[in-house]
Every structure is written in C-alpha cells, then in structure tokens.
Amino acid sequence: MAAPAAQFAATRDATNSLVLYLSPTQPPIPIPPELRDELPDQIWAERLRTLTATASRYNKVWFERIWLLVGICAIFIVPVALFPIILKALLTRNDTVANHIFEARGISFGVFVGLMLLFFVPMAIWKYIGQQEANALLLKTPGIFSSNIILRIQLPAGKSVSVFTFGAYLPSHIGQAPDQEANYFYPYKPGSEGLPRMSTIGNVPLFNDEKKGEQEPPPKLTKTALKKAAKAARQAKAKPTPPQTPPVAPASLIPDIVSEEVEPLQPPVLTNGIQKSEPEAPLKVEEFIPDPVIPPTPLPPVEIPLPTLRPPLPEPVVPNPTPTVAKPSPVVAKPIPVVVENPTLVAETTKKRQNMLTRTLWTFIMIGAFIALLLMGHTYMILLVMLCQTLVYREVTALFSLTTSEEETKKHGKDPWSTTLNWYFFVVTNYFLFTLYTIGFVGFVMSLQKGFLKQQFGLFCWVHMSLLIIVLSSHFIVNNILEGLIWFWVPASLVICNDVFAYVWGITFGRTPLIQLSPKKTVEGFIGAFWSTMIFGVLWGTYFMQFDYMICPVQDLGVSAWSSVKCKPNPVFVWRDWQMGPPMAVFLSTLLGRTITTIPYAPYHLHLLFMSGFASLVAPFGGFFASGFKRAFNIKDFGHSIPGHGGMTDRMDCQFLMGVFVYVYYGSLIREYHVTVGSVLQTIATGLTVDEQLVLLADLQRYLARQGIKIPSR
C-alpha cells in the first residue's frame, strides 16, 4: 500500500536520479517490482526503518520549535528588561543617566549576544551531530522548520523514472556515476574487485555485500575527492572493454578420450551495486563414454569456487574412466585507472574561487566608499544617488533591445532616435522640466515612421515606466537625505542587513523554498532575517541618533562630519521616561533592592521597528520582482557595473522600494512644519493689501485682549 502523496514527494534531476522528501512517520513502503530482483522485501523494510529512525532521532519537531520560541522571547525580553536595572546599578549618588547610558547599552548587548549563543549554538551542534551520523546513510536530516528527510538516489542503469512508483527508494547507486551535486553518494571505486562495504547501523547492512567481513569501511572523503571519484567512474564507464578470448584447454594424452573444454571463469557480476553469488553463464562438464560395453559411471559434480584475485586450482576428481578437466586460467584483476583531474572541473572551481574573491573585494570597496561619502556630506550622498539611478536606468533600458527579434531588426533596421530619446526624457524628467518634456513628446510623435511603429511605441512605454520607477524613487531618496542623513543611512543599512542575514540563515537552516522565482530563497532564511533585522535596526538606529550631523536637516550643503552642526532635534530623537506599571516596578525594585519606576526610551525606537519590519517583510519583494524580470529575459544579471555583483540594478532593487516607504512614512508621521515670524510677515506683506493688513491688525488685537494678554504700548 502506497503512502499518501502528501507525506512525500519526488523530483527528477538530469542524471537519472531521484530526490525524495520522506516523512519519518510514514509506514514502510513496499519495494517496487522493478527492484525485487535486486533486493528482498525484508531487507528493504529493515533498511527503510533504519533510514527513517536515524533521521528522526535528531528531528524533534515540537521540541525544536518550543526551544526556538523560548529563545526568541528571551533574546528580546531579557536585554530590554535588564537595561534599566543595569543603568540604575551603574549610577552613583552624584551621577546622571547620560554618563552611563552607553555602558548600560553595551552590557545589554552583551546579554543579547550571550542569549543567542545559549539558544542557537546548542541547536546547531545538535543538528550537526545528527547530520554527521546521517551522512553514513546517504541522506540529509530535516531542518528545524521541516519534518522531511531529503534522500537522493542514483537509479540503476537502464531503469527510467517514469516506470517507478514514487516511494522511498534506497540508495543502490554503486556501479553508476554519481551526480556531482549529490554530496551524500557513497564513492564508487572503479576497477576494484568486489564492493566496498558500507557501515552497518543496528546490524542492518546498507548494501547486500557477501564479503562484508573481509573489507574495512572506507574513510569519509571530502567533496573534492567525491568529485574526482565520480569523474573517474564516468571515464571508466565510457572506455570500451576489449573482448576476452576464452582459453582452450590442452588435449589429453589418453587415447580415445577427448578432453573437455571448460569456459573461463567470469569476474563477479555487478547489478545495480549488488554482487551476485554466481556468474551469468554456469559451468558445463561434458561426459564421454569410451566403451559401450562398460556401464557408464556417473561423475561427481565438479565444484569450482568463485574467483578471487588469485583463485586456487580445484582438486581433480578422477573416476574410472576419468575425463580430463582443464585447469581454469587465473583471472587477472584489471588495473586501477589513475584518477586524472578533470580540466573542466578544475577550471570551474578556479573560476568560482576567483569570482568569490572579486565579490568580497568589491564588497569592501563599496562599503568603504559608502562610509567615505557619508562623512563628506549631504552633497556627495546626493551625487551617489544620482550616479546609481543613472546606471540603473541604463541597464533597464538596454533590456528593451532583447524584446525585438532578430528577424524584425533585419527587416526594418533599428530606430535611429531610440537612444537619443531615452536619455532626453531621462534628463528632463530628472529635473522636472515640463516644457522640455513637452518638446520631447512632440519630437517623438514627429519621428514616428512606418515599419518602426511597434518598436517606437514599445520603447516609449518602456522608458516612461522606467522613469516612474527609477527617477521618482530616486527623487524621494534625495528628499530623505535633505531631511537628515539618518533617514537615508539607517534604512539603506536595514536592507543590506536583511539581505546578509537572509543568506546566513538560509544557508544554515534553509529547507523550505519561499518563492518559485528565487529557488535559493527559503522560509527559514526569510524568518531568521526578519528577527535579525529587527534587532539590528534598534541597535543601529540608537547609535546614530546621538549625532547632530545625522539627525539635523540640511541647512548648508557644504557641511561634513567634521563641521560643527547644531540644531533643535526632532521630538522623536528626544529621550523620555516610560512609567512602568506597579507590578513590574515592584518586581524590579524587589529584585535590585532599589526603587525603579521608569525606563528610558525615544519615540524613534518605535519608528525603527516599523522600518525594520518593512525592510525585512516587504522590501525583499523588490528583489523578487527583479528576479522575475531577469527570468523573463533569460539573463543572470542586469549588467556588469560592479565586478562580482552583476549590475547596479541587482544591488538597488530593494533600495528603491525602501526609499519610497521612508519618504511617505516620514512625511506622514514624523515631519514637523515650522512657521516663523518672518515667514508670516512676508506672507502678509506680499499677499494682503494695506486695508486688509489693518483689518488683520485689529482682529489680532481683539484676539489677544480676549486671551487676557495686555498689549505693551511703545
């Protein structure tokens, strides 16, 4: 009886192998009919139970989830609760809170790091030990948020996936070339006589090896050694084996008796990695009766042992009359082929290593340039945004050439005004020059030609959608810089942090795909990056809010980090005291032995939580949108502006969405609109007549009199 389809699934890769996701709680699946000649039903069931039991031993789903839930709550609650306690403990009689607030934050951050190590390191070690034991079984243990066992199997030669019933196939791949990406395959040694024995767990062998007492389990090999062994197996399989001519036994010296010919012994046969106990062709012994008068004497069976590296000669059985039996010729083992490194594989490995080094180098270069421009002032940050939007616009508009087929281009040619109009609309839109934009629109209509209409209108729509997404978003980001560098620096850092932590959590615990457009994105990485970004955002924003250079709006474009910038801070950056409830105040006071009734905070912390949540939950979908865009055009990167990273669009896809959100969020909830006496007088003097000004003065005097304010006389 087959298990329900919801409990497991299988997919096929390009090397005739299956990747199965097996639930450890499902009952054993009967062996498929196609494999019954290679593995008995009882051994199949025993091995299947061994596989699932070993994997589920280190997969306690509910325990892991409760452990992580308790850990996450402790990581967030304990440092916040200890912060005021630590701050009060550092204070002396004549001290102020401002003198020790950063020390208290540092200690709280140390508590946060310690709790992370306490909860996550044991979990990682436990999963690592389970995976090391599972490596001997050629399977991969489930992740924290998954209960499926990942099992990759190389199918026997000549058997198709289509004729197999989806089930938990055991790894019977020895004799076949392993897949390079299947890191849990047992290495096949070409040219060796007999099969290397797999280790046993619970006295259940993983492979039916008749010589399991003669050979020791091979040592674990590295990924490089596995790849070399796989290449050697493919090369050995590709080489044709020369046919062997069976030797003919010499004629006997006894007259009237014909010596019989014994076929040479064949080496053990490998069928799907299982050694058969007998060769394919059985030995035949012919009888010859020399004299019809004498009754024939039955011959005893001639036993010939299976050949080994140097098979012993069998003792001849000589009846009366005795036919001669030719001695079997010794079987010489094939020489073990020398493993030669694949030049293509070596070149690919070298290329990946160089690409990683280039990517790392340019990552540090970009971080250093970003920090340098931040210290140089607002003007340089605006120029950086302008440079990024120009490169992104160039990469996106260049993709339009991929939408035009080669036949259409050869038939009608290329529109000569396409590149010119692209950059014309970019310049006039970037500076909101409506009159020049209108002139460009008229010029576009005048340039329409038969044969190019479809291409021209398609380009017109393409350019305007690019302008709407890129230029308008960049304008919002520039406004954020002018309101204070912290409204650009911190949100951009949150997006970068979320991207980094999504990669770290995904490569460590990722098992469940998040979205089809990006197969490498996992649910575990998405959730882990969310919590990591929330924590990072509060700490990162709290540090930078103490600098006037970061929080002050632009008053002079010539200022830098070394300038003396002073301003009245926005109320969201002003520290306040949160009055705790009586139960919590009594608890903390009793715990510390002193009276604690308030906790310091700033409203900016609440805004940091909202921005961190958007950067980790919504902004990544800008990257998914870019991934779908690239898949639509069958390209890997938008360009090559940044070595090792692809194009500028690949790095800025999430930043545009984040910049628009911060602009709307700041303008709706945080921005202050100041009215000065000078601005009011200027409005009165320029917008009102003399009579209207006198009426305004009389109304203002009556208003002040009603308020009880005495107007001083001059």
User: Which pLDDT tens digit goes with each residue over 362-408?
Assistant: 888 888 899 999 999 999 999 999 999 999 999 998 888 776 666 66
DSSP single-letter state for residue 260: B
Is residue 586 domain-shared with residue 682, that is, in the same domain? no
- Give a three-class secondary structure readout of 451-480: CCHHHHHHHHHHHHHHHHHHHHHHHHHHHH
Q: How many structural domains is the chain composed of?
A: 3
Mean pLDDT, rounded, for 305-330: 52
Is residue 568 domain-shared with residue 597, that is, in the same domain? yes
pLDDT at 309 over 60: no
Mean pLDDT, rounded, for 680-703: 90
Is residue 479 domain-shared with residue 623, that is, in the same domain? yes
Question: Which is more confidently placed, 572 or 202?
Answer: 572
pLDDT at 602 over 50: yes
Mean pLDDT, rounded, for 343-363: 79
Is residue 525 domain-shared with residue 399, that is, in the same domain? yes
pLDDT score of 403: 67
Per the structure, the complete domain to which residue 111 belongs is given by 63-124
Does some domain include residue 333? Answer: no
Binned at pLDDT 50, 70 and 90, residue 84 comes out as confident
Which residue type sits at 424?
Y
DSSP single-letter state for residue 292: S
Does some domain include residue 28? Answer: no
**Are the CB atoms for 246 and 264 separated by under 8 Å?**
yes
User: What's the sign of the alpha-carbon dihedral 61, 65, 66, 68?
Assistant: positive
Does some domain include residue 213? Answer: no
Task: Among 59-68, 89-98, 147-156, name the most confident range.
Answer: 59-68
**Are the CB atoms for 663 and 614 separated by under 8 Å?**
no
Which residue type sits at 243?
P
pLDDT score of 242: 56
Task: Among 20-29, 157-166, 511-520, name the most confident range.
Answer: 511-520
Its pTM surpasses 0.75: no
Is residue 577 domain-shared with residue 555, that is, in the same domain? yes
**Residue 473 CA from chain centroid, whole number:** 28
| C-alpha to C-alpha distance for 170 and 660, rounded to whole angstroms | 53
pLDDT at 49 over 60: yes
Is residue 664 domain-shared with residue 605, that is, in the same domain? yes
pLDDT score of 676: 78
Decide the pairing of beta strands 9-12 and 139-140: unpaired
**Burial status of residue 519 (CB atoms within 10 A of its CB: 0-12, 13-18, 19 or more):** exposed
Which region among 184-198, 550-564, 608-622 has the lowest average model confidence (pLDDT)?
A: 184-198
Residue that terminates a domain, selected from 89, 109, 124 = 124
Does some domain include residue 585? Answer: yes
Is residue 630 domain-shared with residue 685, that is, in the same domain? no
What residues have CB less than 8 Å from 401, skipping those under 6 apart?
Answer: none
pLDDT in tens, 181-198: 333 333 333 333 333 333
| C-alpha to C-alpha distance for 251 and 486, rounded to whole angstroms | 101
Is residue 593 domain-shared with residue 689, that is, in the same domain? no
pLDDT at 319 over 50: yes
**Are the CB atoms for 684 and 696 separated by under 8 Å?**
yes
Does some domain include residue 225? Answer: no
Does some domain include residue 534? Answer: yes
Percent of the chain with pLDDT over 90: 22
Task: Among 12-21, 167-176, 205-214, 367-376, name the most confident range.
Answer: 367-376
Is residue 554 domain-shared with residue 695, that is, in the same domain? no
Mean pLDDT, rounded, for 625-653: 85
Question: Which is more confidently placed, 218 or 559?
Answer: 559
Phi, psi of 173 (to 5 degrees): -105, -5
Does some domain include residue 453? Answer: yes
Is residue 474 domain-shared with residue 575, that is, in the same domain? yes
